[in-house]
Structure 1
Amino acid sequence: MKLTEHFTLEEFTHSDIANRLKIDNSIPAELMPNIHLTAIKLELVRKALGQPIIITSGYRCPLLNARVGGVSTSAHTKGLAVDFHSAYGTPKEICQRLIDTGMQFDKLIQEHNQWVHIGFSPSHNRQIVLTAFKQGGKTVYCNELI
């Protein structure tokens, strides 16, 4: 099902881990407005980058979220966040570009210099920018791009 010009519902629900573990990652009807909002915002991200973006993790049902080690309050479980990458550049370059263009987001995270997490809010985007990295086997967050 096509959500916007460049994004489909399947991109938001696809998960190799869910498939392997036979987890139903279908989006509940009450979360569809959030999915549509996120898809519309991702069109703005794509435009800012001038490149397609590849969603690597979109919606996660609570069981899938727990299995991948996500926090229980993850915006992924509400349909309000995605992890992605793009041919535009490195995760840091992508984040910097989105900041420089004035992109509105709730949370933007350069994750382990491997992908970008972006989350949105239907009411109040906080413009939180973080860098995640491993330290002593645990994920640590820094309140800036590094």
Structure 2
Amino acid sequence: MNKIKISENFSLHEFECRDGSNLVKLDEELIDKLQKLRVLVGKPIIVNSGYRTPEYNAKIGGAPKSQHMEGKAADIRVTGVTPVQVAKLAKQVGFRGVGIYDTFTHVDVRATPTEWDYRTKK
């Protein structure tokens, strides 16, 4: 497990591909905005998914052009904070890609702003 700190509240291992390879690719802007979000929310952010290899992304049914494969995205959750609330705060700190799901929020630093809501219960 790679315990290298990449910001005040995040370590490199949190963003490693979950396929067992421990590969990681990260965009500095993603970490900067996640750290700003962490300060704003005042609670730990749990990274469900960070970097994904193209093979792993395909295996789990990720979008063909997923920002995760570029190291520009994270699926996150915060205990006691709803995905909708996390999404609102994420936009405040400048995330350009924000997706709301039932149990987590997708955030990314893509070039073109976009939002989506894939909750099954709205």
- What range describes the TM-score normalised by the shorter chain of this pair? 0.7 to 0.9
Aligned to 2:109: 120
Distance 1:119 1:44 in 2: 14
Residue 119 of structure 2 corresponds to which residue in structure 1?
133
Which sections of structure 1, spanning at least 5 residues, go unmatched?
135-145
Which secondary structure does the structure 2 equivalent of 1:55 belong to?
Answer: strand
Q: Which of the pair has more CA radius of gyration?
A: 1
Q: Is the 8 A contact 1:48 1:98 kept in 2?
A: no
The partner residue of 2:48 within 49, 56, 75 is 56
- Aligned Cα root-mean-square deviation (Å): 1.8
Counterparts of 1:91 and 1:5 in 2: how far apart (Å)?
23
Q: Percent of counterpart pairs with the same letter?
A: 27
**Distance (Å, rounded) in 2 between the aligned partners of 1:105 and 1:66:** 24
The answer to whether 1:84 aligns with 2:76 is: yes
Higher relative contact order (CA 8 A, sep 6+): 2
SS of 1:133's equivalent in the other structure is coil
Unmatched segments (≥5 aa) in structure 2: none
CA displacement 1:10-50 (0-9 Å, x = unmatched): 100052xx13xxxx2413xxx44x1x321111001111211
Higher strand share: 1
Q: TM-score, normalised by structure 2?
A: 0.85
Residues 1:80 and 1:37: Cα distance change in structure 2 (over 3 Å): same
Residue of structure 1 equivalent to 2:13: 10
Higher helix share: 1
Counterpart for residue 138 of structure 1:
none
Instruction: List, as ranges, runs of 4+ consecutive aligned residues in structure 1 with deviation greater than 4 Å.
Output: none
Whole-angstrom CA distance in 2 between matches of 1:55 and 1:92: 16
In the superposition, relative to structure 1, how do residues 88 and 98 fare at CA in structure 2: closer, same or farther (>3 Å)?
A: farther
> How far has the Cα of 1:133 moved from its partner?
3.4
Length-normalised TM-score, structure 1: 0.72
